[in-house]
């Protein structure tokens, strides 16, 4: 498979390139960037020095049609929807890592992203690229929309118990912690070291964009509306996400009931691990040990005092939250083992 990356100079573009350079069934033919046109890739992504001599090129759809079979679009929100119709028109498959094709209802883009979608006819044709829920649809899709990073552990943590109708459908609270790489490569005052270091900064306390994805996917799963409350926090780490979800059961399940629900959903999944141990330091999910991996670790506990379920989800936001998930989707479309190019156990200590 000949692949190209549009928007390859950002953090996600660089992570994609790192993975694809070592993928046994992929040849990276073109990487584009407006900011670094003509520059060697390794001058921006220094970890790739002596691994590739690729240079950033100008985006040219006709050239891409001749040089590759599939395009990864790692562009800012609102940009891909202008480009993707052209890519599809010349016969290219697309895996989009922006938010432009995640939501099915065009009006949701006005509500959550504050823009009118320019090609709403493609929203129903796109497939939400979460393999654990949409594997067979991904296999034959020409347009795959990779999920948001914080939406991924939120959905995976909730899907089994929502599907089993264990919890109230309008009283679910998600508290998310995310590292600084989640803000992207472009610096802001909020990402300035002196401002970010040593703190925990709540932001977008309600109305965060990933709310729409979580509600959409869980509602589709059960065929009726699911409502969630979602609040993210910027924390003092570079990579990683931890979601702590509070859900309220209709009748209190036992830990064994939860084990049964999660094993039924994820027992055969290559990248979901259930973590609820009684020994060791990492008895529950922790993003620290997931850096560089495509795993999503899910744990849970039961709080009988408050009639509450606590669901924990941890990922590397750059991997299962973005580039790794995109490669997993690629593997599905190629009918490869989903672990191809993604078998990395992480570091410890780090």
Q: Where are the domains of the chain?
A: 2-147+320-333, 151-317
pTM exceeding the 0.75 threshold for the entire prediction: yes
Q: pLDDT (tens digit, 0 to 9) for every residue of the chain, 350 residues total?
A: 999 999 999 999 999 999 999 999 999 999 999 999 999 999 999 999 999 999 999 999 999 999 999 999 999 999 999 999 999 999 999 999 999 999 999 999 999 999 999 999 999 999 999 999 999 999 999 999 999 999 999 999 999 999 999 999 999 999 999 999 998 998 888 888 898 889 999 999 999 999 999 999 999 999 999 999 999 999 999 999 999 999 999 999 999 999 999 999 999 999 999 999 999 999 999 999 999 999 999 999 999 999 999 999 999 999 999 999 999 999 999 999 999 999 999 999 98
Cβ–Cβ contacts within 10 Å for residue 202, how many?
A: 10
Task: Give the architecture (CATH level 2) of 151-317.
Answer: 2-Layer Sandwich (3.30)
Place of tokens 């997931």: 290
Distance CA(17)–CA(2), nearest Å, equals 13
Distance CA(26)–CA(335), nearest Å, equals 13
Distance CA(302)–CA(115), nearest Å, equals 41
Domain 2-147+320-333 fold: Rossmann fold (3.40.50)
**Beta sheet of 296-303, edge-to-edge order:** 201-202, 228-234, 167-178, 241-249, 308-315, 296-303, 272-274
The answer to whether 2-147+320-333 and 151-317 have equal CATH topology is no
Distance CA(57)–CA(30), nearest Å, equals 7
- Residues carrying an active site annotation: 149
């Amino acid at each position: 498979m000949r692949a190209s990356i549009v928007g390859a100079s950002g953090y996600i573009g660089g992570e994609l390139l790192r993975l694809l350079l070592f993928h046994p069934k992929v040849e990276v033919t073109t990487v584009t960037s407006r900011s670094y046109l003509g520059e060697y890739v390794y001058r921006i992504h220094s970890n790739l020095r002596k691994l590739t001599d690729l240079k950033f090129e100008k985006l040219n759809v006709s050239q891409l049609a001749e040089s590759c079979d599939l395009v990864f679009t790692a562009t800012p929100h609102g940009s891909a929807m202008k480009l993707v119709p052209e890519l599809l028109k010349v016969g290219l498959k697309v895996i989009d890592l922006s938010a432009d094709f995640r939501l099915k209802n065009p009006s949701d883009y006005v509500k959550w992203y504050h823009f009118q979608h320019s090609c709403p006819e493609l929203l129903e044709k796109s497939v939400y690229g979460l393999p654990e829920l949409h594997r067979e649809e991904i296999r034959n899709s020409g347009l795959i929309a990779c999920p948001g990073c914080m939406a991924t552990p939120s959905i995976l943590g909730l899907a089994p118990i929502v599907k089993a109708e264990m919890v109230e459908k309008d009283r679910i609270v998600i508290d998310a912690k995310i590292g600084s790489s989640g803000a992207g490569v472009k610096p802001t005052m909020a990402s300035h070291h002196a401002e970010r270091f040593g703190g925990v900064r709540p932001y977008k306390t309600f109305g965060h964009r990933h709310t729409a994805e979580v509600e959409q996917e869980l509602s589709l799963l059960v065929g009726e509306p699911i409502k969630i409350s979602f609040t993210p926090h910027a924390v003092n780490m570079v990579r990683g996400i931890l979601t702590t979800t509070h859900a309220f059961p209709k009748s209190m399940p036992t830990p064994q009931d939860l084990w049964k629900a999660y094993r039924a959903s994820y027992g055969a999944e290559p990248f979901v691990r259930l973590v609820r141990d009684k020994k060791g330091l990492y008895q529950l999910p922790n993003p620290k040990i997931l850096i560089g991996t495509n795993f999503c670790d899910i744990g849970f506990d039961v709080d009988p005092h408050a009639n509450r379920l606590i669901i924990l989800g941890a990922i590397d936001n750059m991997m299962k939250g973005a580039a790794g998930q995109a490669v997993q989707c690629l593997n599905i479309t190629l009918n490869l083992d989903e672990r191809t190019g993604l078998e990395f156990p992480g570091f410890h200590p780090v």
